[in-house]
Amino acid sequence: MAYFDAASSAPLHPVARQALLASLDEGWADPARLYREGRRARMVLDAAREAAAEAVGCRVDELVFTSSGTRAVHSGIAGALAGRRRVGRHLIVSAVEHSSVLHSAEVHEAAGGTVTQVPVDRGGAVDPAAYGDALRADTALACLQSANHEVGTEQPVAEVAEACRAAGVPLLVDAAQSLGWGPVEGDWSLLAASAHKWGGPAGVGLLVVRKGVRFASQGPVDERESGRAAGFENIPAIVAAAASLRAVRAEAAEEALRLRELTERIRARVPRAVPDVEVVGHPVRRLPGVVTFSCLYVDGEVLLHELDREGFSVSSGSSCTSSTLTPSHVLRAMGVLSEGNVRVSLPVGVAEEDVERFLEVLPGTVAAVREKLGAPAATDVAREEDVLVVDSLGKRCPIPVIELAKVIGDVPVGGLVRVLADDEAARLDIPAWCEMRNQEYVGEEPADKGTAYLVRRVS
């Protein structure tokens, strides 16, 4: 089985496994106690903190360990907002942040705060100037990921941090996806990360709060981890997390070159081997091992199941793979195709032969899935004056786009097709289809049921 979902959770690094087992005998006692076992546990914990701080590029007393990366994000945002409450209650985030950031923003807004979402371009990157424009006198905090977890696009953190610093606003960076590859550049103020993203054990996150940043921990606190992460430290897991971070950093430069070559191979060959594919994310500024593409006329969930049967573990941002039947917020913000979405995120040490086998298997797998969906059970087509109407109400992705593609040739150049759909994914996928197929997306309008999407035939 080829595991291609390292962006969700990387396989446990061998160094992490060794460190975890070794520290079980040394790190079980309470590090707050003064007797021998406690002092030994404290030494082990302090050594792990020093190693993690060195990798991050911060002071040892600025870093605390949390129970997860999500907890680090929640605590970091809540503490920074509370610490700067007198300044104001305005929060800035990008439209493609991890759900942990967006959920924190929702809680803040529900409590009376205000939130500005900075848009991204079609490659998934923010414009630093947009962050500068969003800054206000009452801005308490800005948040920006270092790299996107779905499409791998690296963000201009240093430029955004400079704009925030000039305005006196702290910037929190979610570095979960990038920290294993190197320190985050720029004059950021807070940073959160998660060990299982770089090959450490799950259940360990880290939160860095730079000296001078106003911060007030929220919720019940105790004396542990500078009062910023309550509860008994999981020292063996923390040691394993720090040891694996050091190990992957030592391998990062060489492995990044190898993974970039493999992902570039996928980016170049998939569109040649599979018709009607959109490769998404920035072509250059991206993480070494992540490549994402979307396939027209493909049910994402079916495609993932078929690839799993062929021995490949991949993930997807397609709406079809979600119980809510709504597209990924990242793909929606980028304005790219969501149907048939596949994210390949290669783990450290992946075999080149597995990538080659994936490239051999993919075209036939996509073709088989398309064949199954090629003839929908019913396609209701009618005419309203000079407009061809396609009734796709009650049909989920990618059926509305398939039906649109089937009838576009039945109208003259300049003619309109009106697609009726009640699947939220159609709002993203129909405009994306138009751009890929050089047709004009006119817009949407209300309908008796669902929404009507208007497409003009150009060629």
pLDDT tens series, the chain, 459 aa: 899 999 999 999 999 999 999 999 888 998 989 999 999 999 999 999 999 999 999 999 999 999 999 999 999 999 999 999 999 999 999 999 999 999 999 999 999 999 999 999 999 999 999 999 999 999 999 999 999 999 999 999 999 999 999 999 999 999 999 999 999 999 999 999 999 999 999 999 999 999 999 999 998 888 788 878 888 899 999 999 999 999 999 999 999 999 999 999 999 999 999 999 999 999 999 999 999 999 999 988 899 999 999 999 999 886 554 555 577 899 999 999 988 999 999 999 999 999 999 999 999 999 999 998 863 333 444 555 568 999 999 988 889 999 999 999 888 999 999 999 998 889 999 999 999 999 999 999 998 889 999 999 998
| Closest to 336 measured CA to CA, from 277, 403, 392, 390 | 277
Selection from 244, 193, 252, 224 nearest residue 21 by Cα:
244
Token reading at 108:
């803040």
Q: Can you tell me the distance from the alpha carbon of 343 to that of 396, in angstroms, rounded to the nearest whole number?
A: 21
The CA distance from 199 to 294, in Å, is 27
Q: Rounded to an integer, what distance in angstroms lies between the CA atom of residue 425 and that of residue 327?
A: 6
Q: Is residue 131 classed as helix, strand or coil in its secondary structure?
A: helix
Residue entry with tokens 């439209």: 95
Q: Are 184 and 175 in contact (CB under 8 A)?
A: yes
397 is catalytic: no
Cβ-contact 239, 19 below 8 angstroms: yes
**Number of residues written out for the chain:** 459
This prediction's pTM: 0.89
Which residue in the list 143, 320, 397, 434 is annotated as catalytic? 320
Q: Which residue has the tokens 């790190």?
A: 27
CB 289 within 8 A of CB 259: yes
Q: Are strands 290-295 and 277-280 parallel, antiparallel or unpaired?
A: antiparallel
